[in-house]
Structure 1
Amino acid sequence: MASVARSILKKPVKISLVQLLSGTDKAANLKHAASQVAKAASGGSNIVVLPECFNSPYGTEHFPKYAEPLLPLPPVKDQAPSYYALSAMAAENNVYLIGGSIPELNPSTKKHYNTCLIFGPDGALLSIHRKTHLFDIDIPGKVTFRESEVLSPGNKVTLVDFPEYGKIAVAICYDIRFPELATIAARKGAFALIYPGAFNLVTGALHWKLLAQARAVDNQIYVGMCSPARVLDSSYPAWGHSMILDPMAAVLAEAQEDEAIIESELNEEKILETRRNIPLETQRRFDVYPDVSAGKVAYEEPDLVG
């Protein structure tokens, strides 16, 4: 885990999570997202987060229809409206924007991905995260879903440097169930783990808050979970309950099921206090188990370099 002796979060930062209602009209979804990002920014937030699949309905039947070709970078404008809309949202509001996720098509391989685009306050693309773990589950009589029928997985741990503040780790939804990504990010100095995610009514009730608290308390950093708002008559109603947690796993802000913007100020002292009080860093037993962050961790995929 990051040393308490060095700066993890250089100065306090205000973050907003935007819980959105999205429909079948991509242009309308982008316009609505832009209005909500502007609203969050007007409240003083420096970092704004959108939910998973904010520009489209969530579902394997929808991914190919709504997918945009992003490569080679920069993409063709009329083929990638979501890319340029997110860039504009960041620049027009002078915020770091973690753009939830959108369906992506790689034109050269014909593969589809669930992809998060992260932009800086000048509108420049900072990083891309493709969902690393695909949501393939079967809970008899409750929910069956197989993203792998359409999607391919990404292959990296995504750490993004926001120069004024520090590093943020970004992953998507089902990625939160795999603690290795979070452990690596924390040990590499991240001050927050951000998960755009669309849990359903079954898994959301079971584990949404539990997993968020686990990642926070295991790694002693902030966690943000950003969900779509719930639409009960959709093919995949999202759980909602976007939330921000502190390094002790206390919930700082939480939405309910409807559209909402939640916000909180993150500060380094809470991270340092947590690590002083419960000094996991100095108590780790790497003589008994290996340090996963010391392995061959990929941070860039060659085909994402523009």
Structure 2
Amino acid sequence: MFTNVTTSFWQGIRKTNPFLLSKSFSYRMNHFNASLVPKDFRPFRIGLIQLASTSNKDENLKNARSQISEAVQNGSKMVVLPECFNSPYGNQYFNEYAETIEKTSPTYNTLHSIAKELKVYVFGGSIPERKDGELYNTSMVFNPYGDLIGIHRKIHLFDVDFPGKMTFRESETLKSGNSMTIVETEFGKIGLGICYDIRFPELATVAARNGCSMMIYPGAFNLTTGPLHWELLARARAVDNQIYVASCSPARDVSATYHAWGHSTVVGPDGVVLSTMDEKPGIVYADIDPEKMASIRKSISLYTQRRFDIYSETKPLKLNEN
């Protein structure tokens, strides 16, 4: 099953904290492993598929199948595809390549069959989705039985302006999603965002406070934002919440109209990069370990030191205009 969290950020923060320990020091010391790590978190290997997408959707889907198969052969139980993996990225392409989310759609059918055939969790990057006359940037998640267990529509649209470098406004074409997404897997709960969503720390914080051991972000940062913030943001989301973070990018194609940064990356709960690569096509592997999370959360006890008595309710500051 999957959960779309539509409550406000602070409503989510105030939900029951699955990691909150007794105030008793002895209880914390004797039970930190069980309390600081989500009880359903199990070790697994993840594979991030850094694809080079082309203008040929059929070729993109065929390439995704081949690369996922390789990742599974190398032990991956969960695989992640990049943002807009089945099409070129850009406002001029979204409408042309958009699909509805239904079993007869090419990308749905491909990801469903791959997951079922290879017995693997597939986080399907994102695709341009057509729904109720609107276009969305949408991720689908399938379990090893081929069941659709998650749908995430990009919440924060990429509207930026770097004078003299680049201007891009996804909102000219796309509509934003209006809910968070948490999926339940046999390895634990996973939170999901798409690209620009990673810049908003509330998503990862709410996910972590609701039992997620990892955030996954398919993303296509460019040659301006990539060198500045791609790794920095993944590490920040990880260390803020002492969770794993996986960011999967398309490979860079200098002949395309949009040049992705690449450098797909997995970060551990201590903020240290576990695995990464360059801008070329390939697969990034990482072994996800609950014991590492337990050790980090014991060493730096954020989950016993949160001061919700102070910031359980956070409101915008009233500015002094004098």
TM-score by length of 1: 0.90
- Report the equivalent of 1:222: 244
- Report the equivalent of 1:236: 258
1:28 aligns with 2:59: yes
**Change beyond 3 A, Cα 1:175–1:291:** farther
Q: Distance in 1 between matches of 2:231 and 2:222?
A: 13
Matched ranges for 1:151-162 at <5 A: 151-162=174-185
Matched ranges for 1:92-131 at <5 A: 92-106=117-131, 109-131=132-154
Deviation at 1:17, TM superposition (A): 0.3
Deviation at 1:55, TM superposition (A): 0.1
Q: Find the residue that maps to 1:269 and give its secondary structure.
A: helix
Q: Find the residue that maps to 1:61 and give its secondary structure.
A: helix
**Change beyond 3 A, Cα 1:95–1:233:** same
- Report the equivalent of 1:252: 274
Q: Distance in 1 between matches of 2:130 and 2:134?
A: 6
Aligned residues: 283
1:168 aligns with 2:190: yes
1:90 aligns with 2:112: no
- Report the equivalent of 1:18: 49
What code does the residue aligned with 1:94 have?
K
CA RMSD across the alignment: 1.2
CA deviation map 1:10-30 (0-9, x unaligned): 321110000000100001100
**Change beyond 3 A, Cα 1:145–1:2:** farther
Q: Distance in 2 between matches of 1:2 and 1:154?
A: 27
Percent identity, aligned pairs only?
53
**Change beyond 3 A, Cα 1:2–1:254:** farther
Segments of structure 2 that go 5 or more residues without pairing to the other structure are: 1-16, 20-31, 315-322
- Report the equivalent of 2:219: 197
CA deviation map 1:37-77 (0-9, x unaligned): 0010111110000000000000011000000012xxxx251
1:269 aligns with 2:291: yes
Runs of 4+ with deviation above 2 angstroms: 4-7
- Report the equivalent of 2:228: 206
CA contact (8 A) 2:103 2:109 kept: no
Match 1:41 to one of 55, 66, 72: 72
Q: Find the residue that maps to 1:62 and give its secondary structure.
A: helix
- Report the equivalent of 2:6: none
Q: Distance in 2 between matches of 1:10 and 1:127?
A: 18
Deviation at 1:155, TM superposition (A): 1.0
Q: Distance in 2 between matches of 1:192 and 1:10?
A: 10
Deviation at 1:291, TM superposition (A): 6.6
Deviation at 1:2, TM superposition (A): 4.5
Segments of structure 1 that go 5 or more residues without pairing to the other structure are: 293-306
TM-score by length of 2: 0.86
Structure with higher Rg: it is 2
- Report the equivalent of 1:303: none
